[in-house]
């Protein structure tokens, strides 16, 4: 199964995919890694593994027209690598409906909260601030909404009294990587079908 991965930052979840592909148990080809943030660590991790990378930058204060053009350019950049699946993990931009329909292949995303709770860009912080005792992570299919796509897998993570956002996020990421690799294995083996 041929995938493209989109990241915006550190790419530690991407690294887990790279490591699993390199070690051999995961029958997946990472055709390319892309980002909206040129030079981000996730792109550096991919380059270090000899994987093709691309960047399509988006200004923070982009106008709706600039954002539409960015979606078109990003879609074209992904399609150049002819993936069977697009994976977003730590990709911090909302993809437009036009992107989804033009791309024509399924997209899965990892989110660091138990959706539908705490959607959006700051799921870990929001769970901490809300005072819940249990949060977790979700792998879901991406639709035109924000974190509203069909849920594929979830894992719970308890919040401790001395947790910081970083300490909690690192524990969540351990479960995210497990769910992400399990999902990719299921898709590659034909044991999971996406619409």
Ligand X SMILES: NCC(=O)N[C@@H]1O[C@H](COP(=O)([O-])[O-])[C@@H](O)[C@H]1O
Could you check whether the bond before residue 92 is cis, i.e. omega within 30 degrees of 0?
no
Q: Can you tell me which of 55, 94, 132, 188 binds ligand LMY7XDAE, judged by CB under 6 A?
A: 94
Of the ranges 15-23, 44-52, 142-150, 163-171, which one interacts with ligand LMY7XDAE (CB under 6 A)? Answer: 142-150
Give the strand pairing for 134-141 and 151-158.
antiparallel
Q: Residue 106: which of 184, 8, 163, 181 has the closest Cα?
A: 184
| Catalytic (active site) residue 111 | yes
Both structure tokens of 65:
């027209």
| 45 in contact with ligand X (CB under 6 A) | no
Angstrom CA distances, 190 to 97, 152, 187, stand at 26, 14, 5
Smaller CB distance to ligand LMY7XDAE: residue 26 or 115? Answer: 115
Smaller CB distance to ligand LMY7XDAE: residue 20 or 92? Answer: 92
**Separation between Cα atoms, residue 88 and residue 183, nearest integer Å:** 13
In the complex, the residues that contact ligand LMY7XDAE under the rule CB under 6 A are: 88, 91-95, 109, 111, 120-121, 142, 144, 146-147, 149
Mark the binding-site residues, compressed into ranges: 11-13, 67, 92-95, 109
């Amino acid at each position: 199964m041929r995938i493209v991965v989109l990241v915006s930052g550190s790419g530690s979840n991407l690294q887990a995919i790279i490591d699993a592909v390199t070690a051999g148990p995961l029958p997946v080809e990472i055709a390319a890694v892309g980002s909206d943030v040129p030079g981000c660590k996730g792109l550096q991790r991919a380059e270090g593994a000899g994987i093709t990378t691309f960047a399509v930058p988006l200004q923070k204060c982009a106008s709706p027209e600039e954002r539409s053009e960015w979606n078109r350019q990003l879609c074209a950049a992904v399609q150049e690598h002819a993936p069977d699946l697009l994976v977003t993990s730590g990709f911090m931009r909302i993809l437009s409906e036009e992107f989804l329909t033009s791309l024509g292949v399924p997209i899965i995303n990892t989110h660091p909260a138990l959706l539908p709770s705490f959607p959006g860009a700051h799921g870990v912080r929001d769970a901490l601030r809300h005072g819940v005792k249990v949060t977790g992570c979700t792998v879901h299919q991406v639709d035109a909404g924000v974190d509203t796509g069909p849920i594929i897998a979830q894992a719970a993570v308890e919040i401790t009294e001395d947790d910081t956002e970083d300490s909690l996020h690192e524990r969540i990421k351990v479960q995210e990587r497990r769910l992400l690799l399990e999902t990719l294995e299921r898709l590659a083996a034909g044991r999971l079908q996406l619409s």
